[in-house]
Amino acid sequence: MNFSIHTIPFGIFSFGESKKCLATAIDDKVVDLSYLANEGFFDDFDIPRPVFSQPYLNDFISLGKKKTGAVRNLLQTLLKNPTPEVMEAYFYYKQVDMHLPVKVGDYTDFYSSEQHAYNVGVMFRDPENALLPNWKHLPVAYHGRASSIRVSGTPVHRPKGQMKPKDADKPVFGPSKRLDFELEMATIIGKGTELGESVSVNEAEDYVFGFQLFNDWSARDIQAWEYVPLGPFLAKNFFSSVSPWVIPIEALEPFRIPAEKQEPEVLPYLKGDALSQFDVKLEVYLRTSTGEEKKISTSNFKHLYWTVAQQIAHHTVGGCDLNVGDVLASGTISGKAGDSYGSMLELSWSGTRPIEIAPGIQRTFLEDGDTVIFKGYADNGKIRVDFGTVENTILPSK
């Protein structure tokens, strides 16, 4: 962990038997914001001190960007040249426990990477019509399970479920044989809407607090059997994981880049004055139980056809309400190159092209004991913003 002064992430930590409370981080230190609050550092912003002593960030996020932005700015000043008083709030990262930072209300998973949708379409359906007809007209999405989202470090048991082997005449039950990760970015909603209210593309980023790395764990064999006609269910809801730190959207301003032109033209409610993506490098590492580790994918948050602003506009256009703490995940982010795909399904091309982790060690899908690690960072040579990691180890089925 190494957070620059440009990052100022927000998370939830505890130390030993202490209660959970809010934290930021600088370099390899965790900074106890409840301590700073109780010393009066944030009193000028008219924020009740207990907001910094909650077990989730939600109350803090609910203050709105004016106040959370003021806290961010002050922290950049305080942590640049910390006084001894400020340093009283420091902990070494390795000394503390990090927790799920946001209490998630509803979780939506988009499907916004064209290469990923294309790859899945080729493998599961028809190479000639890999993208379904709706894909370039709307940001396809489905509702995911909020309850089973956990923080980095939580182990994941291989799920059991129904699958139907090729040529079998009926389904079988057992541990998934095609356990997979999905490399995603989670958008954390920072401002709620009323039922019936729509948010335009141009104002949509006002509703974004920040971002986290997101692993949408998936069991491909369970998914293939269950997903028609209503979408994935048990194939996904056994577990999802997030990195411990929420990176505020303000930290990504230096890394904003124009989105690519969309063709065919989208409907007016999906148009914006200046659609943008964020240039954030994403890496996937696989570590075996014997300690062999390899980077198996290098992707980028920018490899999305639909922007976060368009996702929010689409999500609300029918009147669905958003709440602070909702998660809008990007969907698997795959680049064009074969080594930038965001899932084992794509990297091993449905298991037909094993990936070499080390001499004699290959993977198609994930095995018990494997650890999957996502890392993310933005770096323009002058400014670097890290996302930290989301890292989970696979345990055998219960």
Q: What is the DSSP letter of 102?
A: S
Q: Least distance (Å) from a second copy to the CB of residue 107?
A: 8
Tokens, residue 100: 């799920």
H or E element: which one contains 297? strand 293-300
332 is in an annotated binding site: yes
- What's at 162, amino acid-wise? Q
Query: Alpha helix (H) ranges present in 81-113?
Result: 84-87
Active-site residue, selected from the candidate residues 99, 116, 303, 315: 116
Q: Least distance (Å) from a second copy to the CB of residue 208?
A: 17
**Burial class, 66, CB count within 10 angstroms (exposed 0-12 / middle 13-18 / buried 19+):** exposed
Is residue 350 a contact point for a second copy (CB under 8 A)? no
Tokens 């939600």 identify what position? 58
DSSP annotation string for 18-70: PPPEEEEEEBTEEEEHHHHHHTTTTGGGT--GGGGGSSSSHHHHHT-HHHHHH
Can the peptide bond before residue 229 be classed as cis, meaning omega within 30 degrees of 0?
yes
Q: Least distance (Å) from a second copy to the CB of residue 177?
A: 14
Binding flags for a second copy, 192-221, as an x/- string (CB under 8 A): ---xx-x--------------------x--
H or E element: which one contains 290? none
- The reply to whether 116 belongs to the active site is yes
Q: Least distance (Å) from a second copy to the CB of residue 319?
A: 4
Binding flags for a second copy, 239-258, as an x/- string (CB under 8 A): x-------------------
Calculate the dihedral angle through the C-alpha atoms of 22, 315, 213, 398, rounding to the nearest 10 degrees.
Answer: 90
- What's at 382, amino acid-wise? K
Nearer to a second copy, 144 or 376 (CB): 144
**Interacting residues with a second copy between 289 and 348 (CB under 8 A):** 314-315, 317-323, 326
List the one residue from 3, 41, 225, 245 that touches a second copy (CB under 8 A). 225
- The piece of 41-49, 56-64, 100-108, 356-364 that touches a second copy (CB under 8 A) is 100-108
- The piece of 36-44, 66-74, 137-145, 342-350 that touches a second copy (CB under 8 A) is 137-145
* Cβ burial 350-374 (10 Å sphere, 16+ → b, else e): beeeebebeeeeebbbbeeebbbbb
CA distance 185 to 196: 27
Binding flags for a second copy, 140-169, as an x/- string (CB under 8 A): xxxxxxxxx-x------x-xxxx-x-----
Instruction: Show binding-site residues.
Output: 109, 111, 125, 182, 184, 216, 223, 227, 236, 240, 332
Instruction: Show binding-site residues for Mg(2+).
Output: 216, 236, 240
Give the interface with a second copy as residue ranges (CB under 8 A): 105-106, 108-109, 111, 124-125, 132-134, 137-138, 140-148, 150, 157, 159-162, 164, 170-173, 195-196, 198, 219, 222, 225-234, 237-239, 264, 267-269, 314-315, 317-323, 326, 398
